[in-house]
Amino acid sequence: MIEKLLFQTLIGLSFSMYLWLLAAGLTLVFGVLGVLNFAHGSLFMLGAYATFTFYGKLGLNFWLSIFLSLLCVGGIGVILECLFFRRIYHIDLPYQLILTFGFILIFDDLVKMVWGGVAMIPPMPRFFEGNFNILGRPFPYYNVFIICAGIAVALLLWMILEKTWWGRMIRASASDREMASAIGINIPILFTNVFVFAAMLAALGGALGTPVRVVAPGIGTAMIIQAFVITVIGGLGNLKGAFVGAIIVGILTSYGILLFPIFELFIIFVVMAIVLMVKPQGLFGK
Amino acid sequence: MAKKMTRRKFLKDTVVGGIALGTSLGSYRITYGQAKKPPGPIKIGGQGAISGAHADYGWQMMAGATLAIEEINAKGGILKRKLELKFMDEELKPATAVKNARYLVTDWGADFLFGIDSSGSAMAVGPVLPELDRLCFFCHAATHRLTEELVAGKGIKQIFRMVAPVYQDALAAWVFKDAPEIKRWAGINCDYEYGYVAWNLFKENIRKFRPDVEFVAAAWAPFWTMDFSSHIAAVMAEKPDAIFATPWAGEGVMLLRQALMLGVFDKIQIWWQCMGGSVDLLEGISREVAADKFKGKLWATARYIHNYPATPENKTFVEAFRKRWGKFPNYSAEASYSTIYAIKIGAEKAKSLETSKVAEALEGMELKTPAGPRLIRKEDHQAIYTVPGGKVVHSPDYPIPILGDLKIVPAKEYFRHPPFTPVAATK
Amino acid sequence: MKRIKFFLLLALVIFLFSLPAFSGKYILYITIHILILSVFALGFNLLLGYTGLLSFGQAGFFAMGAYACAKILLIFPSLLVGTMTGMIAGALSAFILGFLCVRHTRIYFSMLTLSFGMMIYSLAWKWREVTGGDDGLVGIPRAPFEIPGVFSINMNPMGNYYYYVLVISLVAIYLLYRLIHSPFGLTLKGIRESESRVAYAGISVRHYRLLSFTIAGLYAGLAGSFLPPLENTVTPPIAHWTHSAEPVMVTLLGGIHTFSGPIVGSVVFYIIKDIIVRYTQYWLIWFGAIIVFLVLVFRGGIVIFLIERIWTLMNRR
């Protein structure tokens, strides 16, 4: 039984990493820009489609494809932020949410028009084929890679925010926008940077998922609710919280499938509701 | 900034709203109003899933019907009238399916309806058909309840199902009943009615042949599951000999890919992928099949496969389809193709398009279709025809994998018969 | 001037009542859907436009109303009972969940309502024995509208059911209108504008919010109860958060700060969707583009913008 749980934990952990990549960008944008972007899942989806096209259709190198996808989605992020999101920072919450919802619809159809509505999946990169033997059961190399990638991103983000000058600017703007502006930080450019960075994180999540998951319209939106739950549990704007939250949600979902198949959908919402009622700022929020 | 709400404003708004409503509905009236019906084309309205992970099925339905309509129109049409097709997206949502059905009949003037991918949509549209007074030929929705409850039970004679229902998924019981080394079965199933019923029907039937069989684990994956690793891991923990899997289309491809990654095919003896013989799934795994990753352990069936039966009728259909569309026909394409021909035969036999007359003409008829002889059973309007199960293999004659090593069991044996007892639709 | 407006309103009502005489079934069917969405969105806007709370879980209460009505109609086919049960189910569930939600505001309120809405969705999906699971409840009769011993009207003809929905909707709309212009409504607006000031005046903000939330739930339940007799089936997607987004969208379309905004928005939404769908299967992208455009350009709702223009033109003397 213990072995089953441990193995299930590992599986859940790899699932968590996709959620982490999605939630990281979401919480970053909320913390710094103050916008809750429903369409964040669409950026995840675009990252997946881009990687599928470069790697699956054009046959480019896997790592190159991921890199190019990040650039493409980053570009889309620039357009989104400069042309649209910039104008909604000061307006009421309902309008913000509805605008981002509108983008979900646009991207879903756009993707259908360009790639067709049929689900697609590229081949697995050759060097990832195979398994480790963990607890007597096969655990794919690719899953290990995903876990390492997720942890690497977490460390990278921590380093950027704590140790670099850019990170310090971000933290300053997040806690007090006016003050930050007063001391000379160029807020608009910083905001664009952060948005694009968050978009690339989401795209990375989508890109890394392509060899194992189907690329279809709506794949990002299907996960966005879980990403919301994670950001709430961890604390809106809190990256550490998002990381921990993603792990909790991923592992709980995985346990749910093993132990309580009836309630797995329900569980994460109950957890979110409890957190909201008991500590609305989230586990790590202030 | 709050606007002062006065009665004036309320009236002002209602006026504009009323004008908007009036002009638009009025324009509806002018364009789509109650026109008298001169003998124009015969209108056939269809719907299916055109988007999402299951989008190929709706497209295939439309493609099969279009091919049939083009062929029939080239030969003069039905009762000297040409056929016209309109195909809509059901979005796999019952509410949308019902709305489309109403629109197609009352607004567009459809004489016949066909299609429908989702069982939920089928169960919602079925009861509305008497009100609309139109026949609907279901080309995918697999739930047994459509025919067993609504036709045989409630007498909704407007329902016809041209495609093999969930009885087909349980074929595994017949295929593997004589394999003594396969004792421990586990299921990875869709977490909705289709999954429950397929699994329950399979269990019920294999127990009849093999009382020694055990069901060691079952995992349930809801719609939109993208990561089956947890489900596969949960099930493999119980060390099964064989796995019964229902996720279909894009989800089926993912499930098999992830199972390969988790080394499942080294441990089990058989994997039965219910709708694994479907064209989109075979395309999705063709690289892996060519590399023999499944080690000859992957078995499947479908609701029609293009390489069975080896009749000239079937060959002609497949060639015509490939020429027209550049793809192999899926079972939903064959079903919709046969549907259009069924409508032709029924209308010509009844010498009319009237719903009750065509229905009566079709009851008990055995049609010659690409999938072989299709008997339309009187009691439940279910088409009975044989589809084999087989091993997924790479074949030099085809660009995508096919089902080979076919195990052919006559439909009469594995289709359920009236009087119908309820099947457990729970886990 | 007032006379003209009164007569125009009267004309609208007369138009709605005479619709079955010259329209086909499909138009009546669509109009019923528009009425359902209007009632749903009006309740929602009580929360948003007047109390300042954005709820992303209203679909949960809509679903409670729909499922409750369906279950009742399956055992006791009397339309009035079904509708009332739906209303009560919506109001009751809103009251209970409201207790937990109204202590929070703004983004936390929205997220809480989102999670409760999705919990109701998962219940509807999983609890097969009660809700029918993903199949939902089918074969729901369009029960007769009856008061036993007094009269019974067959509701199967679309026209009859249309009148039933129309009359009840108009009454509901009128009642809400009166409510908004009562002291209760003014207090709500006060809470939206400045919570602390209202609290200082001795009014319990939380109680008013809860009441507002309950009424919104009641309207959602009422709207939901119209659905089962119309479609003869109820399935889980009506509880999903994407359905909660509909009243938000149409209210924004029509205008948050006007009473009839949600109604006008519902009309425009259905017409746009119906028209676009005839020409292309890619209607979502048009819809998304319209939403984005509206938010960026016409934030008061397109109708209000047009009205102001037309009104200023007309009022030039």
Residue C102: other Cβ atoms inside 10 A: 22
Q: State mean pLDDT over B122-126.
A: 91
pLDDT at B1 over 80: no
DSSP element (H, E) containing C273: helix C261-279
- Check whether residue B251 and residue B342 sit in a common domain: no
B99 contact residues in C (CB cutoff 8 A) = 29
CB atoms B124 and C138 under 8 Å: yes
In this structure, chain A runs to a length of: 286
Task: Give the closest-approach CA distance of B122 to chain C in angstroms.
Answer: 10
Torsion angle, alpha carbons of A176, A179, A182, A185, to 10: -40
C136 contact residues in B (CB cutoff 8 A) = 94, 120, 124
Per the CB < 8 A criterion, the answer to whether C170 and C10 are in contact is no
Please check whether residue A286 lies inside any domain of the structure.
no
In which band, very low, low, confident or very high, does the pLDDT at A133 lie, cut at 50, 70 and 90? Answer: confident
C110 contact residues in A (CB cutoff 8 A) = 93, 97
- Check whether residue B252 and residue B187 sit in a common domain: yes
* Location of structure tokens 């989230």: A282
CA geometry: angle A95, A100, A103, nearest 5 deg: 130
Task: Give the closest-approach CA distance of B256 to chain A in angstroms.
Answer: 10
User: What's the whole-number average pLDDT of chain B?
Assistant: 88
Q: Report pLDDT for B99.
A: 87
Number of domains in chain B: 2
Chains A–C, number of C-beta pairs less than 8 Å apart: 111
Q: Is C193 on the interface with A (CB under 8 A)?
A: no
Please check whether residue B324 lies inside any domain of the structure.
yes
Which strands, in side-by-side order, build the sheet including B372-376?
Answer: B366-369, B372-376, B383-384
CB atoms B107 and C24 under 8 Å: yes
Interior/surface letters C132-150, b for 16+ CB within 10 angstroms, e for the rest: bbbbbbbbbbbbbbbeeee
- For the ranges A257-261, B279-283, B319-323, the maximum mean pLDDT occurs at B319-323
Q: Report pLDDT for C287.
A: 81
Question: Which of B56, B230, B287 is facing A12, going by the closest CB pair?
Answer: B230
The pLDDT tens digits of the residues spanning B67-95 come to: 999 999 999 899 889 999 999 988 888 88
- Check whether residue B235 and residue B352 sit in a common domain: no
Per the CB < 8 A criterion, the answer to whether B323 and B70 are in contact is no
Per the CB < 8 A criterion, the answer to whether C213 and C53 are in contact is yes
- Check whether residue B410 and residue B284 sit in a common domain: yes
Q: Report pLDDT for C101.
A: 85
How far, in Å, are B305, C46, C181, C263 from residue C186 at the CA level? 68, 12, 7, 21
- Check whether residue B92 and residue B135 sit in a common domain: yes
Between the two ends of chain B, the Cα-to-Cα distance in Å is 54
**Which one is predicted more confidently, A215 or A180?**
A215
**Rounded distance between C-alpha atoms, residue B100 and residue B117, angstroms:** 13
In which band, very low, low, confident or very high, does the pLDDT at B4 lie, cut at 50, 70 and 90? Answer: very low
Reduced to 3 states, what is the DSSP secondary structure of residue C282? Answer: coil
Residue B328, token pair as written in the block? 């192999």
- Check whether residue B205 and residue B292 sit in a common domain: yes
Residue A64, token pair as written in the block? 């190159």
- Check whether residue B107 and residue B201 sit in a common domain: no
Q: State mean pLDDT over B362-379.
A: 93
Say which CATH number the domain at A11 has: 1.10.3470
Query: Residue B257's closest chain A neighbor by CA?
Result: A212
Share of chain B above pLDDT 90, in %: 66
Question: Which of C54, C282, C299 is facing A113, going by the closest CB pair?
Answer: C282
**Which one is predicted more confidently, C117 or C7?**
C117
pLDDT at B259 over 80: yes
Question: Which of A8, A18, A217 is facing B233, going by the closest CB pair?
Answer: A8
Q: State mean pLDDT over C260-265.
A: 87
User: What's the whole-number average pLDDT of chain A?
Assistant: 86
User: Which residue range(s) make up the domain with B201?
Assistant: 168-302+388-414
B191 contact residues in A (CB cutoff 8 A) = 261
The residues, any chain, with a CB within 8 Å of residue C82's CB and separated by 6 or more, are C69, C70, C72, C73, C143, C225, C228, C229
- Burial (CB count <10 Å: 0-12, 13-18, 19+), residue C291: buried
Please check whether residue B35 lies inside any domain of the structure.
no
Task: Give the closest-approach CA distance of C246 to chain A in angstroms.
Answer: 10
Please check whether residue B423 lies inside any domain of the structure.
no
User: What's the whole-number average pLDDT of chain C?
Assistant: 86
The residues, any chain, with a CB within 8 Å of residue C105's CB and separated by 6 or more, are C53
- Tell which residue, B259, B254, B257, has the closest CA to residue B236: B259
Per the CB < 8 A criterion, the answer to whether B230 and A8 are in contact is yes
Say which CATH number the domain at B392 has: 3.40.50.2300
User: Which residue range(s) make up the domain with A56?
Assistant: 2-278
Please check whether residue A231 lies inside any domain of the structure.
yes
**Rounded distance between C-alpha atoms, residue A179 and residue B315, angstroms:** 76
The pLDDT tens digits of the residues spanning C53-71 come to: 889 899 999 999 999 999 9
Share of chain B above pLDDT 70, in %: 90
* Location of structure tokens 């995992």: B219
- Check whether residue B210 and residue B348 sit in a common domain: no
pLDDT at B193 over 90: no
Q: Report pLDDT for A118.
A: 72
- Tell which residue, A225, A173, A213, A273, has the closest CA to residue A22: A225
Question: Which of C9, C177, C235 is facing B120, going by the closest CB pair?
Answer: C235
Task: Give the closest-approach CA distance of A170 to chain C in angstroms.
Answer: 22
> Dihedrals φ, ψ of B384, to 5°?
-105, 120
Please check whether residue B338 lies inside any domain of the structure.
yes
- Check whether residue B207 and residue B266 sit in a common domain: yes
The residues, any chain, with a CB within 8 Å of residue C198's CB and separated by 6 or more, are C187, C190, C191, C205
C302 contact residues in A (CB cutoff 8 A) = none
Q: Is A88 on the interface with C (CB under 8 A)?
A: yes
Which residues lie across from B298 on neighbouring strands? B271
- Check whether residue B120 and residue B204 sit in a common domain: no
Question: Which of B236, B253, B262 is facing A214, going by the closest CB pair?
Answer: B253
- Check whether residue B181 and residue B260 sit in a common domain: yes
Q: State mean pLDDT over A47-52.
A: 93
Query: Residue B35's closest chain C neighbor by CA?
Result: C24
Task: Give the closest-approach CA distance of A226 to chain C in angstroms.
Answer: 10
Q: Report pLDDT for B14.
A: 53
Q: Is A110 on the interface with C (CB under 8 A)?
A: yes
Q: State mean pLDDT over C231-244.
A: 88
Restricting to A residues 25-84, those with a Cβ less than 8 Å away from any Cβ of B are none
How far, in Å, are B390, C18, C153, C154, C182 from residue C144 at the CA level? 53, 22, 5, 5, 35
Q: Report pLDDT for A141.
A: 86
**Rounded distance between C-alpha atoms, residue B321 and residue B332, angstroms:** 13
Query: Residue A123's closest chain B neighbor by CA?
Result: B287
Q: State mean pLDDT over C199-215.
A: 86
pLDDT at A116 over 70: yes
